Amino acid sequence: QVQLMESGGGLVQAGGSLSISCTASGVTFSNYAMGWFRQAPGKEREFVAAISRTGGRTVYGDSVKGRFTIHRDMARNTVYLQMESLKPEDTAVYYCAGRWSDLSVAITTTPVSYDYWGQGTQVTVSS
């Protein structure tokens, strides 16, 4: 019943920008912290960004800090990842993930902490 669906991936040249989104269904969106992870072929899944239930707190991976922004639209049950100054090493499949949480729970950055996952959207950055 719970479903996360990513969209907005594509091809962009280095230095460019791209915004991807994830829409949740089958859940009470406000009960879930949301995160973005990415995985390139042959590499481990990497934490990108996460946001608390109401959007008041955000956490970013070191490799994207200052370039990527996560935000959520509660009315649209959607979480966004806005990516700026993209680099070829940002190329990966980007996955949306959700985690049920209490308001006081700290944002987690490990994949095993998340309950639900989307199928991913490909982001390719050319040089």
% of the chain surpassing 70 pLDDT? 99
pLDDT of res. 106? 82
Residue 105 has pLDDT above 80, yes or no: no
Higher pLDDT, 105 or 92: 92
Q: Give me the numbers of helices (H) and strands (E) for the chain, helices first please.
A: 0, 11
- 50 alpha-carbon distance from chain centroid: 7
Tokens describing residue 121: 């959207």
pLDDT digits (tens, 9 = 90+) for 30-83: 999 999 999 999 999 999 999 999 899 999 999 999 999 999 999 999 999 999
92-100 and 32-39: which strand pairing?
A: antiparallel
